[in-house]
Structure 1
Amino acid sequence: MSKVSYYTAEGLKKLREELKQLKDVERVKASNAIAEARDKGDLSENAEYDAAKEAQGMLEMRISKLEDQLAGARVIDESQMDTSKILVLSKVKIKNQNNGIEMNYTLVADGEADLAAGKISVNSPIGQGLLGKSVGDVAEISVPSGIIKFDIVEISR
């Protein structure tokens, strides 16, 4: 049974496009690579054939994983969400109590996380620590170096 994950419409579209690319293009390439390697002779000593089969196995595993993700994927209706608490798709401004640095993040599903774009997973330590908090709350987040305290400055959608 697949785990339910929440995505933006854009994130879900990217997931579907990646699956389509893997099935329609990459699968054909993998089959062709196996056929070419098979034509080169003795399969027991054919490293190219073994590599092509292994690549195909990895591809099929990725396709299976994406299909499982899509089976449990749900699109979030942002208009129905409470803006007083931090939830999935919340845009938050937090301030580190130790050094005073303010950071802006958007909490997203695992598949959409991109730290360079300011998108962190709700399942990351920071994401978990922020969920359910309101403006003015202090989030104490456990990281390998200890506990970091963040002030919740702003929440938006």
Structure 2
Amino acid sequence: MYNYLTEEAIKILQDEIQHRKSVVRKKINEDLKEARAHGDLSENFEYKAAKRDRAQNESRIRYLDRMIRTSKLIKDETTSDEVGLGKKVLVKFLSDGEVEEFKLVTTIETDPLNNLISIESPLGKGIYRRKEGEEVMITSPEGEYAVRIEKIMV
């Protein structure tokens, strides 16, 4: 399974890796050094917390690196009248008539609470490369529902 990422998304991941290696790692090492100076490591909470933080940081670095290595670079090759990456779209849910605005993004940029939906989500897959006025059946784990593309914005 690939992580579909744009060049911009890969840059965001690389920046986070660099930050974690140069800033976060350095701070954690300072915390470890200070905690060691307190003496008895077997009952030293600060030492245990710093070791846990170091493990979490290194794990995140490995995860981000793996995400980049296994990613599939995608470019938005949609026309201006098609739903594509980085475009906002008004979607009408035909079952209740509710209209919501979404922005189609890559996996790492997804934020459902702010209506940033992944191109890999059921709704994202369903509306990708569709045009205004098209009705689409979306199949999700909760069942099927119909939507119509009301408007595409850049």
Superposition TM-score, scaled by structure 2 size: 0.78
TM-aligned CA deviation for residue 116 of structure 1: 4.9
The aligned runs of 1:104-123 (5 Å cut-off) are: 104-123=101-120
How many equivalent residue pairs? 153
Amino-acid identity (%) = 29
Q: Distance in 2 between matches of 1:91 and 1:153?
A: 11
Residue 102 of structure 2 contacts residue 115 of structure 2 at CA under 8 Å; is this kept in 1? yes
Which residues in structure 2 correspond to 1:109-148 (within 5 Å)?
109-131=106-128, 133-135=130-132, 136-142=134-140, 144=142, 146-148=143-145
Q: Is the 8 A contact 2:126 2:136 kept in 1?
A: no
Query: Which amino acid is the alignment partner of residue 21 of structure 2?
Result: K
* Separation (CA, whole Å) in 2 of partners of 1:24 and 1:3: 28
Inter-partner Cα distance in structure 1 for 2:125 and 2:110: 14
Deviating more after overlay: 46-55 vs 69-78: 69-78
Answering whether residue 61 of structure 2 is matched by residue 102 of structure 1, we say no
Q: Which runs of 5+ in 1 are unaligned?
A: none
Q: Which moved more, 1:125-134 or 1:57-66?
A: 125-134
Report the residue type matching 1:102 in the other structure.
V
Q: For 1:74-89, list aligned pairs within 5 A.
A: 76-78=74-76, 80-82=77-79, 86-89=83-86
Distance 1:25 1:151 in 2: 46
1:110 CA displacement: 1.1
Q: CA deviation at 1:25?
A: 0.4
Residue of structure 2 aligned with 1:18, choices 16, 19, 25: 16
Pick aligned residue for 1:41 from 29, 39, 42: 39
- In the TM superposition, what is the alpha-carbon distance from 1:64 to its structure 2 partner? 1.1
Aligned to 2:19, what secondary structure does the other structure show? helix
Q: CA contact under 8 A between 1:5 and 1:72: conserved in structure 2?
A: no
Kept after mapping to 1: 8 A contact 2:4/2:74: no
Secondary structure (helix, strand or coil) at the match of 2:89 reads strand
Counterpart-to-counterpart distance in 1, 2:94 and 2:122 = 17
SS in 2 for 1:123: coil
Query: What aligned pairs does 1:56-71 form with structure 2 within 5 A after superposition?
Result: 56-71=54-69
Q: Does 1:3 align with 2:38?
A: no
In structure 2, the gaps of 5 or more residues are none
